[in-house]
Amino acid sequence: MTRPAQRRRTLSLRLLVVVGAVGGALALLGVSGLADTLVYYRTPTELLAEPPPEDERLRLGGLVQVGSLERVGSEARFAVTDGVATLPVVYSGALPAVFAEGQGAVVEGWLGGDGVFVGDLVLVKHSNEYRPVGEAG
Amino acid sequence: MSGRRAGLQVRRPGTLRTVAVLVRRDARIALGGVDGFASVLPFVAAGVVLAGLVLGPDPAALRTTAPGLVWLLVLTAAVPLARLVAAAERDEDSWDMLRGLVPPGVLLLAKAVVLWGALAVTWSTGTLLAVLLLDGAVTVAGCAAAVLGLVGVAASLTVFGALLAASARGAGLLAALVLPAGLPALLAGTQAGVADEPWPWLALLVAYDLVAGATSWAVFPFLLEE
Amino acid sequence: MPRTPAPGGALLPTAAVTASGAALVLALLVAPEDAVQGPAQRLMYVHVPAAWVAYLAFAAVLVCSVAYLVRRDLRFDRCAQAAAELGIGLTALAIGLGMLWGRPVWGVWWTWDARLVTTTVLLLVYVAYLGVRRMADDPHVAARRSAAVGVVAFLNVPVVHFSVVWWRTLHQPPTVLGPEGSPPIDPVMAWALAAGVVAFTLLAVLVVRRRVAGLRAAGAEPAAVPPAAGAAPVITVVPGGGR
């Protein structure tokens, strides 16, 4: 037990078991459908399929539909889409500088009874793509 | 190493017998000792009552926070419970003898079983109080999540308890280790009880048990050699 | 520090300074401005290397911890401590730079996103690891306990990395280390990022080597290891650990 060679053999067996357990855990997580459970935001399709209670605060995420953004005074109206369903959003406040049509956004707020999402915080969700100016993705 | 252990097992009582003896002795400490329920259950009760005071009086808010609150209290209570790992041995001054006699894997199993039981009692007490005082709900999935999640917590807690078995210092440090190590149980345990679809959360807990159990087993022997 | 061989000793600092200069020029001047995010995106060239080299440092803690448990040589323990300290610093840097990046682009400094929370937990776990190191007075007892914790703590690293893959987060999924084959990044930007990673790695090795030498000088182990032997394995262990 005190010799390094012996310790190495014992330890490599133990490490092998740990690596096996981590691999098994990763495989289990892969098939468990966990991706749909811990969500930072919900998509318009999900919100329309399962309307939340009216006073529940939640986050709506998706792409800002091209051509939907209009500003009236300090109020902004736009639509958030996931390609399948679209939800109209009303937001009063300053939009982030990077906010643009066709880009990802997450809106915090409530889904009103009239089907309009009332937001009080807009976050821009940028993609993992990095392209220079003037070169379309 | 394996040869030595096999040789020992012939002369010694079986693994299950050893585990049973150790568990019975530690359970007595948990039930009656100062490191056990005598301090932890009042703490959990105080936690639930104070939460009702500061988070209330809106019953909806209390109902929403109840499951997460119970798990947070259990993880916090796990910090003093980690003292159970060597409590009996500290009283008898037999920790050195025990770790020389019992193989590390068996010792880990016995200590983790005791901690699991103690954590399960703590969780049940907290949940019962949350149902009575905070209008919380008990679901089958929530109970299954507690059964599963506390396995991983108990395994990690045994390692951290053994880390501190021989030292009087570092009790506060234990909290900094236990809370992050219990994060999967906190998250999945809370969510499984309230989600429409508990299966992914239960799968996460099984994965957590697997990793926490294997890692604890791998590092535990090194904490026993002094 | 005291008696490192002259040629090898000068090579690493020179390489680190050169790489840092090149990375700076590439990131600030050569790389084009991002079409969507504008100048704020240039924070990527420091944020991402900081996070990656933090992973690398924690991997080095793991490797050194295992090496200590096998060899029982305090050299590996010092190495683990130095790597953990560096990893903590770099994780804090990555969080700080991420906040600076998040404010103009997302619109908030901080949000309860899986990546942000798991990274902060990672930071706290390694801070606790440094606490474990100071629990015992006997250096070998402290080294053994912290090595056990150093192995367990590393389990957090895959959780942080995969948090954006497993779960739907505000933080974008990985660009370069992602599951897809071709990273969706402009080649010049990718080069600037690569230069940043090389610069951070070399600087990290430099810092760890210095810290290990300092720890050795402060440690109560006189003449157990010949002075020159200490520096060489450190250089090989640290970068080899994470790759």
Residue type for C190, please?
A
| Residue numbers in C near B211 (CB within 8 A) | 155
Q: Considering only residues 71 to 100 of chain C, which have any Cβ-Cβ distance to chain A shorter than 8 Å?
A: 71-72
Q: Inform me whether the pLDDT recorded for B181 exceeds 50.
A: yes
Tell me if chain A has a CB within 8 Å of the CB of B132: no
Residues 155-194 of B with CB under 8 A from A: 187, 191
Q: Which residue has the tokens 């606490």?
A: C131
Tell me the per-residue pLDDT of A32-49, one tens digit each, with 9 for 90 and over: 777 667 788 888 888 888
- What's the distance, CA A109 to chain centroid? 15
Size of interface A-B (CB pairs under 8 A): 58
Q: What is the pLDDT of residue C99?
A: 94
Q: Shortest Cα distance from A23 to chain B (angstroms)? A: 9
Domain that holds residue C63: 44-171+186-242
| Closest in B176, B218, B226 to C128, CB measured | B176
Which of B75, B174, B219, B225 is the mutation pick for testing C, counting most C CBs within 10 A? B219
In a domain, C140, yes or no: yes
Is C24 part of a structural domain of the chain? no
* Helix intervals (H) in chain C: 6-25, 44-71, 74-105, 114-133, 139-153, 156-166, 187-218, 227-242
* pLDDT single digits (tens) B3-26: 444 444 445 568 888 888 888 888
Structure tokens at B15: 């693994």
Low-confidence ranges of chain A (pLDDT < 50): 1, 136-137
The CA distance from C152 to the nearest CA of chain A, in Å, is 10
CB contact under 8 A, C152 and B180: no
pLDDT in tens, B105-148: 899 999 999 999 999 999 999 999 999 998 888 889 999 999 99
Distance from CA of B97 to the nearest CA of C (A): 18
Q: How many angstroms away from the CA of A51 is the closest CA of chain B?
A: 14
How near does any CA of chain A get to the CA of B11, in Å? 20
How far apart, in whole angstroms, are the C-alpha atoms of residue B186 and residue C220?
42
Regarding predicted confidence, which is higher, B202 or C135? B202
Query: Which of B86-90, B169-173, C168-172 has the largest mean confidence?
Result: C168-172
Q: How many domains is chain C built from?
A: 1
pLDDT per residue rounded down to tens, chain C (243 residues): 444 444 456 888 999 999 999 999 999 998 888 888 888 889 999 999 999 999 999 999 999 999 999 889 999 999 999 999 999 999 999 999 999 998 888 888 998 888 999 999 999 999 999 998 888 888 898 899 999 999 999 998 988 888 887 778 888 888 777 666 667 888 889 999 999 999 999 999 999 999 999 999 887 554 444 444 444 444 444 443 333
B56 touches chain C (CB under 8 A): no
Q: Please judge whether A132 and C166 are an interchain contact, meaning their C-beta atoms are less than 8 angstroms apart.
A: no
Give the pLDDT mean for B80-100. Answer: 81
Please report the pLDDT score of residue B6 as a whole number: 45
Nearest to B222 among C124, C131, C148 (CB): C148
Asked if A36 and B208 come within 8 Å (Cβ–Cβ), the reply is no
